[in-house]
Structure 1
Amino acid sequence: MDPRRAIPRTDTLLARIDGGDTPALNQHTLKALASSAQDRARRGEIAPDEVEAKFLADVARGASALTPVINCTGVVVHTNVGRAPLGDAAVAAMVDAAGYVDVEMDLARGERSRERGKQANDALLAACPAAEDALVVNNGAAALLLAAATFAEHGKLVISRGELIEIGAGFRLPELIESARVDLVEVGATNRTHPADYERAAAAGARAILKVHPSNYRVEGFTAAVGVRELRGIADAHGMALIVDTGSGLLAPDPALPDEPDAATALAEGADVVLFSGDKLLGGPQAGVVLGRAEAIAAMRKHPLARAVRIDKLRLAALEATLRASANPTHAYLHADEAQLKARAEALATATGGTVVAHDGRVGGGGAPGHPLPGWAVRYDAWLAAPLRHRTPAVLGRVHDGGLLVDLRCVPEARDGEVAAAIAEELTKGEGR
């Protein structure tokens, strides 16, 4: 008999759901999950007698198909698994904001408020006193688009050729900027740009200067660049706006990341506005944060594009909570104690039979490119990576040089036992390979 004839029928699978404990899934979704499990059996990926268990496990996961991941790669701001993990305070704030909140309501007056996002803006200004005002939009690219449109729409914007970067998913900075109806003026060379290059473009009628931190690569050797302070002088001499995109979201200098630009320094050196992402070094939700002079922020807030790139209430709440909390996971992982990481790795190796090796973590997300975060990992045979990825939650390590490296830097210490149990279970299943 064709073994596929043993695959349970859809009505049989649906009948297996206990009516008293039925999850909040509609019939369309339940039928789709049943069909998915059946199709896997038809393709031979699972046995027919495993279909029911697969279906019930998928139902138990709830309305979202996203798989939780335990990040054992050592990359703190890992774009592929959602960048910065939110802290408890931010998660709680998002839950509260999921209902009705005063995002555009003046409760004292009982009238609509014109200060959407005021709570998050106030938290930003408290965290970065160098800024006169703040604006939060959907993401970093949206912040740059809005700034370019506000200060150089139907005009020229100057940028060094060494800063024409490509950001994630193949989007290139020049294409993004030009979509704001801006004429991009490229100056200098890939490795060297001088003040005179900007001066010539300014004299030709450019309306704004954009300085971008090339956060996902480094240029070394025979190089030259113009700093924010010197660009401020050029901008003032020609009545131009100065936009600085720091990218990774550092608010103030951090000794652990000595070469990473920060918003406070850029503002002190004369930037009209500083732009960065909220879900990188800041440790918050996806957001495009703009800090700067009150007049410049007001101009951006009034531009028609500001409505199109507006951020939602959930992320405004999470951003405010991240800024007001005493700590967050991203900061903790970036500054993890090397000795403690080694002790945790040794404990994991003892429990699972792996080998402890030195392993440099990374900032990730385009932050501090090439800058190592000294630490430790446990090495296993490479075949273990796949079954760990297929668990729920998935355990994601780094496959490198023919082995699997499990780095606990980005794992809350309370979950070390969970990682050890997952590895031990998959090793037992894989015996005899």
Structure 2
Amino acid sequence: MVRFEGTREVNTSHQELLRTLPPVGELIEDERLAGLVAESGREAVVEWTRVSLDDARAWLLSTATDEDDVSRESLGELVIAGVIRQFELAGLRRFERVVNATGVVLHTGLGRSPLSSAARDALDELGGAGNVEVDLETGERRYRGHQLQAAWQALCGAEDSVVVNNNAAATLLTLQALCAGREVVISRGQLIEIGGSFRLPEIFKLSGAVLREVGTTNRTTVADYAAAISPETAAIMHVHTSNYKVVGFTDSPGIDLLAPLAHEHGLVAIDDIGSGAMVDVSRFGLPSEPTFSDSLASDADVVLGSGDKLLGGPQAGIILGKSRYVEPIRQFPLARAVRVGKLTLAALTATLDSYRRGEAIAEIPVLRLLAASETELADRANVLKTELDQLTGVATEVLREKALVGGGSLPGAEMPTAVLAVQLDGVSADDLALSLRTGPVRMFTRIQHDRVLVDLRSVLAEEDPLVIQALIAAIPST
């Protein structure tokens, strides 16, 4: 018999079966849920069981399935399957490791720069107590990040430094500490949006500094900056457009020309280099990016950059420069609100140590990825192809393609790469990509011409076994 409750159709012949649904206490003792309890806790599994029971009740009252085909056992199986599915969905909402096979070396959504093995070891070692704000020699309290100062001096020639949680925070803190209530002269062509709809003019407004635009989108001259200087001016700011590029009839002076102008008028010369490069990336066949050392050598007073882009470390905003400007930034109240924790300091210290040893290109993953030759990538792709070609229903092909650096660095710059194009019999590219993202080994890929592409430009060589595991797990069982 069927009746309606409001707009919902109810199968009244199944209402009696509601009494046969196993209770939560019985279901939770099922051996299939024991592992879930151990991993997620009894409270979570009980809640999933209650949700699954509610789903089973709703199904019973709406299904047209014959009553004789429904039993206590089948209902129990239905509920347990629902609990397991909720457990799987909860796993997809967790923060977990993934393999970045998109070809985008600095993928913002996937955490940008992978950390070196030394940086990961440092995270483990300094998970306990550490000299975060204590001088080991004197036992006295010191500012957070003092441990890095010798490295910044040796590597970049910086007199002083402050490390905050990202480069947007570094920009906000610098403007507020040094320029609040006064004008900062900047080219109209450098009023960038840094991602997530955070725009430089809005950061200026939040800081209390007054934005003084000069020039045009495509051309700004030193004379434009000079004409804008007044008694209200505090600084000249140069921003590297690290996430877009203007081409054609374009020109804009660098910090090497702006710093002398600023100092001639007693102003602060601020240079935001964006991607935080420590080495000349043109050695990898890429366009040159400004480095901390180049900017400081050009006599910039304060230099800003990111820690998790071309520097290859953890997310951080790096502020380097002359002590008479950096010290007021460090002492400014906002600095405490945007300071980094001990784990960031640990990873950044280990990363800078690689540079000091002269082993950065061999040890820092992002530099290793950029340095890999197309031939090396193709050789790895062919090894993967050989393994996968032994499997039934898998078709593979090694292709030469182009990859992007990404992550707000080197806009438009492409690198040669080798990709493994994969097709599974009876499985669409979209479904395969979904299986790879949600499988036991999470892997992000890209799709081209209804094939999944595994781009090795963004995959470290030691991750190749994970690529195989991810693809094998995605093959439907027969």
TM normalised by structure 1 equals 0.88
Partner of 1:315: 344
Measured after TM superposition, the shift of residue 338 of structure 1 is 1.4
Q: 1:411, 1:43 → 2: CA distance?
A: 46
Measured after TM superposition, the shift of residue 58 of structure 1 is 7.5
Partner of 2:200: 173
Q: 2:385, 2:171 → 1: CA distance?
A: 46
Q: 2:96, 2:20 → 1: CA distance?
A: 29
Among residues 321, 328, 344, which one is paired with 1:292 in the alignment? Answer: 321
Q: 1:41, 1:414 → 2: CA distance?
A: 45
Q: 2:99, 2:300 → 1: CA distance?
A: 39
The alpha-carbon distance between structure 1 residues 185 and 346, as it changes in their structure 2 partners (threshold 3 A), is: same
Alignment partner of 1:348 is 2:404: no
Alignment partner of 1:208 is 2:256: no
Alignment partner of 1:332 is 2:368: yes
- Does the 8 Å CA contact 1:252/1:264 hold for their aligned counterparts? no
Partner of 1:89: 118
Measured after TM superposition, the shift of residue 71 of structure 1 is 0.6
- Does the 8 Å CA contact 1:76/1:330 hold for their aligned counterparts? yes
Q: 1:251, 1:158 → 2: CA distance?
A: 27
- Does the 8 Å CA contact 1:252/1:265 hold for their aligned counterparts? no
Measured after TM superposition, the shift of residue 399 of structure 1 is 2.1
Q: Structure 1: which 5+ runs fail to align? A: none
The letter of the residue matching 1:106 is D
Measured after TM superposition, the shift of residue 351 of structure 1 is 3.0
Q: Structure 2: which 5+ runs fail to align? A: 1-13, 60-76, 389-394, 424-428
More RCO (CA 8 Å, sep 6+): 1
The alpha-carbon distance between structure 1 residues 10 and 169, as it changes in their structure 2 partners (threshold 3 A), is: farther
The letter of the residue matching 1:403 is R
User: Greater CA deviation, 348-357 or 138-147?
Assistant: 348-357
The alpha-carbon distance between structure 1 residues 404 and 273, as it changes in their structure 2 partners (threshold 3 A), is: same
Among residues 357, 363, 368, which one is paired with 2:410 in the alignment? Answer: 368
Measured after TM superposition, the shift of residue 303 of structure 1 is 1.5
Measured after TM superposition, the shift of residue 186 of structure 1 is 0.9
Q: Which has the larger radius of gyration?
A: 2
Q: 2:433, 2:216 → 1: CA distance?
A: 43
3-state SS of the aligned residue for 1:374? Answer: strand
Mapping of residues 273-284 of structure 1, within 5 Å: 273-284=302-313
Q: 1:67, 1:274 → 2: CA distance?
A: 34
3-state SS of the aligned residue for 1:106? Answer: coil
User: Greater CA deviation, 133-142 or 396-405?
Assistant: 396-405
- Does the 8 Å CA contact 1:278/1:284 hold for their aligned counterparts? yes
TM normalised by structure 2 equals 0.80
RMSD in angstroms over aligned alpha carbons? 3.1
Measured after TM superposition, the shift of residue 347 of structure 1 is 2.2
Partner of 2:171: 144
Alignment partner of 1:242 is 2:273: no
3-state SS of the aligned residue for 2:219? Answer: coil
Among residues 145, 149, 154, which one is paired with 1:121 in the alignment? Answer: 149
Measured after TM superposition, the shift of residue 43 of structure 1 is 10
Q: 1:81, 1:4 → 2: CA distance?
A: 46
Alignment partner of 1:232 is 2:259: yes
3-state SS of the aligned residue for 1:75? Answer: coil
Q: 1:194, 1:280 → 2: CA distance?
A: 29
- Does the 8 Å CA contact 2:440/2:473 hold for their aligned counterparts? no
Measured after TM superposition, the shift of residue 198 of structure 1 is 0.5
Among residues 442, 451, 457, which one is paired with 1:394 in the alignment? Answer: 442
Q: 1:14, 1:201 → 2: CA distance?
A: 72
Partner of 1:407: 455
Q: 1:116, 1:245 → 2: CA distance?
A: 22
Q: 1:391, 1:72 → 2: CA distance?
A: 15
